[in-house]
Amino acid sequence: QVQLVESGGGLVQPEGSLRLSCVVSGSIFSIYGMAWYRQAPGKQRELVARMTSDYITNYGDSVKGRFTMSRDKAKNTGYLQMNSLKPEDTAVYYCNANIKRTMWGEVYDYWGQGTQVTVSS
């Protein structure tokens, strides 16, 4: 079984910072891409940041220059550093990973349960 567990969300004032973590655990052969998505109430889930297996990143237009995604391959952990937060960043943030569980298996998508980020004064 594979689990993705996010942490680091919470309440922060505008212009503040938070760092989200996503720990991947379980029976894993390899993690390929990882990504962060978010979903605000009444809105569709949107891509925040994506990192390929080659550690190439791309970001949603609304977070470019403010958010930074990173990975620690040894710890099977992804991070999302969020700076200069705005009220419109308020959402549930989800971690996504493309994982192969065995050497000869296929790559599947896995999701975490989400962590709430609220930006408010």
Q: What is the pLDDT of residue 2?
A: 95
Question: Are 115 and 93 within 8 A, CB to CB?
Answer: yes
Q: What is the pLDDT of residue 85?
A: 98
Q: Which residues of the chain have pLDDT under 70?
A: none
**Which residue(s) pair with 68 in the sheet?**
81
CA distance 18 to 32: 25
Q: What is the pLDDT of residue 80?
A: 98
Give ∠ CA 58-59-63 in degrees, rounded to 5: 160
CA distance 66 to 27: 34
Q: What is the pLDDT of residue 86?
A: 98
Q: What is the pLDDT of residue 111?
A: 97
